[in-house]
Amino acid sequence: MRIIGLDFGSKTVGVAMSDGLLLTAQGVEIVRRKSPTKLRQTLARIEEIITEYGDVEKIVLGYPKNMNSTEGERCERTLEFKEMLEKRTGLPVVLWDERLTTVAADNVMMESGIRRENRKQYVDEIAAQFILQGYLDYLRNQTEGE
């Protein structure tokens, strides 16, 4: 079994995939689109990735709450995208708090020596890894606590 993690943005979707044991998240790619409203090709690519891996049973989608825990316009768009994903893939979609994942991804790249002008091309994929890894860690802690 695998879980796919997504960082949904206005122009890109970062994609990460768990290993078969649900221990680690690895970056897969960044799906880019020409317009924020054009999601058909984005959904088709995500579906292709799910098919390529074959044993994906769940989607974890970053949920962009504000720092004060309120939900803004980005949350509404994310909920619409969640519904589209569920209809298109038939898989359950779990919303996962993504606050500070982009900041953490940027910090990792800075520490790795990736130049500022090159970070944008990787940040969404790494943020998707952080989202998925947070969920995998949560699952592991739930299992250990039982």
- In tens, the pLDDT along 24-58 reads 999 999 999 877 778 889 999 999 999 999 899 99
Q: From the centroid of its chain, how far is CA 16?
A: 6
- Number of domains present in the structure of the chain: 1
Distance CA 38, CA 43 (A): 10
Strands 25-32, 56-63: parallel, antiparallel or unpaired by DSSP?
unpaired
CATH number of the domain where residue 60 is located: 3.30.420.140
pLDDT averaged over every residue in the chain: 85
Question: Does residue 6 register a pLDDT over 90?
Answer: yes
pTM for this structure? 0.84
The answer to whether the beta carbons of residues 49 and 4 sit under 8 Å apart is yes
Domain extent, residue 56, equals 2-144
The 3-class SS string of 78-112 reads: HHHHHHHHHHHHCCCEEEEECCCHHHHHHHHHHHC
